[in-house]
Amino acid sequence: MNYYQYHRNPVFGKPRYHFTFWAVFIIYEVAVSYSYSGGFAPVVDYVTAYTLNISLFYIHSNLFCRVLTEKAKPIPFIIGLVLIEIMVYLGVKYLLGEAYKISGIENDKSLDNIEGFIRNGTWRAFYFIGLSSAFGFSMVAESLRRKTADLELNALMNEKERLHNELTLLKSQIDPHFLFNSLGLVHNKVAKYSREAGEVVLLLSDMMRYALETPGYDNKVALGDEIQHVRNYIKLNQHRLDKPVYVNFDINGKIDGDRIPPLILLTLVENAFKYGETTDSRQPVRIVLESNSEEIIFKISNHKKLNNSGTGIGQDNMVKRLGKTYGDRFSFKVYDIDNIYAATLTIQKDELLYN
């Protein structure tokens, strides 16, 4: 927080406190002066004198605070500032005295004694500069206090958020752990009576484990793991449909070291099972994955079911995820002709390796 942001300070930011202070201060000084001299000076003398003094007060406080907060070694600057302010103060005060003479206003005739004028004027300037410095220092101290309080509050909030995240992470780790243990128990019980049911439980457990695993530092997984997840999904649907599922899945090239965002390929395969024909041996789902030195290409095609009403939301989300990861270094093309649906996903390999 800047020192001059009065609006954030409950005392410095309210003009009524300033007006009250100066009213009391002026009344006090005028009363003391009257007790010594037994009379009052002309009103214009009070107006000009206190206008000059109060102006010096606020000008110095702002400059003082700026120097104090912005300079690594403020003392030399403050000394120079005070000397300049005193000279300007004496100069303005002298000009006002001369203006009194020209206009015929009665004053204290202090200009008749230059030495006394300089001495008294310097003391008066020091007086208000001292008050102003104390005020400015208070502003800086209050600003630093508030800034420290804000930093401490932010630190506490960050610590609270960190603890909350850690607790959430622990819960997310405990819950799947409990789930997988439960699935293991179910598998042990079910496998005694049905080998097929036991296999389904294992497939489901493996798929859920993969879906819940945290991706690597690059938010990607090994391409081989994604392929295995797709194969598990195909096997699971084989059991679900209780009839043969016809899928031709070919892999060309080496996939070692290739990485992609998780569940990208599964989205396309899932759409094929949801909206396509998968149980006709004459019309199998065709999947081809090719990995070469430059890119990874994933192609999938299937015959559409009758009354297909797919919305394509899954594919839209997939494209958005790919866009955030690869920018314009991927392409996704869809071919929807009559009863045939085909899609081709191409990801540039150098982006995969170095992104």
pLDDT mean values, one per 10 residues, the chain (355 residues): 43 74 89 82 83 91 86 87 90 82 63 78 90 87 86 85 68 55 63 70 76 76 92 86 87 91 91 88 93 93 77 79 89 89 89 46
| pLDDT score recorded for residue 158 | 82
Interatomic CA distance for residues 176 and 186, integer angstroms: 15
| pLDDT score recorded for residue 112 | 66
Phi, psi of 117 (to 5 degrees): -65, -45
Interatomic CA distance for residues 118 and 241, integer angstroms: 105
Residue-wise over 124-146: b if at least 16 C-beta within 10 A, else e? bbeebbebbbebbeebbebbeee
| pLDDT score recorded for residue 334 | 92
| pLDDT score recorded for residue 104 | 66
| pLDDT score recorded for residue 177 | 56
Domain spans of the chain?
Answer: 6-159, 244-354
Interatomic CA distance for residues 258 and 353, integer angstroms: 7
| pLDDT score recorded for residue 284 | 92
**CATH T-level topology, domain 244-354:** Heat Shock Protein 90 (3.30.565)
| pLDDT score recorded for residue 304 | 87
Interatomic CA distance for residues 237 and 293, integer angstroms: 33
| pLDDT score recorded for residue 265 | 93
Interatomic CA distance for residues 237 and 15, integer angstroms: 76
Interatomic CA distance for residues 16 and 24, integer angstroms: 12
Whether the predicted model's global pTM rises above the 0.85 cut? no
